[in-house]
Amino acid sequence: MISYLLTSLKQSKNVHMAKKVTIIGSGIVGICSALSLLEKGFEVEMIDRNPPAEGASSGNAGVISPWTCIPQSMPGIWKNVPKWIVDPKGPISIRPGYLLKFMPWALKFLRSGNVDRLQAIGDAMSALNRPNVDLYRCHLNGTGSEHLVSDSVYVHAYKKPAGANLSHLGWRLRQERDVPMEVVNAGELQEIEPAISKDYKAAVIIKDQARALDPGAIGKVLAEKAMSLGATFRQVTINKITPGDNGSWTLDTDQGELKAEKLIIAAGAWSARLLESLGVKVPLEAERGYHLVFQNPGVTVNNSIMDTEGKFVVSSMLAGVRCAGTAEFAGLDAEADYRRAHVFKRMVKRLLPDINIDDTKEWSGIRPSFPDSLPCIGNVPGYENLFTAFGHSHYGFGMAPNTGRVVAGVVSGEPVNIDLAPYSITRFQ
């Protein structure tokens, strides 16, 4: 009888331990993963060198679109890259000293834009994005911060009416996926966005989506919710992860060793470094983004607006009008060059002529980018109890809730209603 009780207690302890999950990373992807794991009854610990919801999670353009399905690399994009690189106002910048290191990733990026790959990538992006407006609202329900997600359309503004042509490839790909949209003329555009310059003669309006009025606040509210439901947070820097016995993990940190039963890598641009010690190599690039907040703008932007020529997005938020959209490649350890942010002053003035550009606040953060615009989500082959949820590029905020739901399903061993193959960490081998 005693032997039976001891065996039962041991089995109970093993089951209990198996329900403990450690998430490295407390950005929006890690936070949403924590919430979904808590719903499944897991004990959750988040670890990060910074407080929750800081870094790239807080600095995005705030677009929450179920309809995002167009990868960054498209056929013919190579024709524009040289022009963008030498243009200080261009959407892409590569620091001269980093060009050689950047080339292997760039070549993979250009190959991802082949026509024969677009459909599969578009489907995979759609699968991650479709439920996310509803999922954000579900996560925020009962927090008192439900207002931070606002109904919106996505205005793609053109100076030349011919640009707003739904027969162009990007718009055709959206139509094939039933994206609700319409073309509007200059007068209709002025009614939708009265502050926009009359130089913009047409727009494509993507309907039925939302925008975040404060992405950073949403992340912090959801992190607080996770901790109110039992999650814990530990602020340490992780130097190395090492597999242990019985599928466990040892985390070497700046405050000593920690143990983990199940481990999720959701550390954004730093994720690849943690995997290198295991011999797992992935083409993850550090894509530095910048934004500028016009704190006393004097104008209101009713929706998310993309300037299709300048490739930047503006949106009214609680702190003012935020302008975001540039990508700089300089390596993970490079210091920010805030001149990239201040370029937005001239650019936004052309879009919104009456905006006050005198009172601004700059920001920079690093986004984790794979060449095919898709993240890595799922198991790491060969390593028990090791999972990934990183590499969302500048789509991370929009994709986070469903990513969290999917990775929670994978960790629990439950079937997920999504094909995981496009997000496999082995797809680059």
Structure tokens that stand for 28 in this block: 């929006």
> What is the rounded distance in angstroms from the CA atom of residue 346 to the CA atom of residue 89?
9
Residue with tokens 């005693």: 2
pLDDT on residue 92: 83
> What is the rounded distance in angstroms from the CA atom of residue 287 to the CA atom of residue 78?
18
* One-letter identity of residue 260: A
* Burial of 82: CB neighbours in 10 Å, binned 0-12, 13-18, 19+: exposed
Return the axis-axis angle of helices 396-412 and 28-39, rounded to nearest 10°.
40
Compute, in degrees rounded to 10, the torsion defined by CA atoms 90, 96, 100, 102.
-40
Residue with tokens 């310059």: 197
pTM greater than 0.85: yes
**Over its length of 429 residues, how does the chain's per-residue pLDDT go in tens digits?**
333 333 333 333 333 345 899 999 999 999 999 999 999 999 999 999 999 999 888 999 999 999 999 999 998 877 777 766 666 667 788 888 898 999 999 999 999 999 999 999 999 999 999 999 999 999 999 999 999 999 999 999 999 999 999 999 999 999 999 999 999 999 999 999 999 999 999 999 999 999 999 999 999 999 999 999 999 999 999 999 999 988 899 999 999 999 999 999 999 999 999 999 899 999 999 999 999 999 999 999 999 999 999 999 999 999 999 999 888 999 999 999 999 899 999 999 999 999 999 999 999 999 999 999 999 999 999 998 999 999 999 899 999 999 999 999 999 999 999 999 999 999 998
Q: Compute the C-alpha angle 271/74/95, nearest 5°.
A: 55
* Burial of 103: CB neighbours in 10 Å, binned 0-12, 13-18, 19+: exposed
| Second-level CATH architecture of 6-423 | 3-Layer(bba) Sandwich (3.50)
pLDDT on residue 7: 37
> What is the rounded distance in angstroms from the CA atom of residue 97 to the CA atom of residue 102?
10
pLDDT on residue 9: 36
pLDDT on residue 326: 84
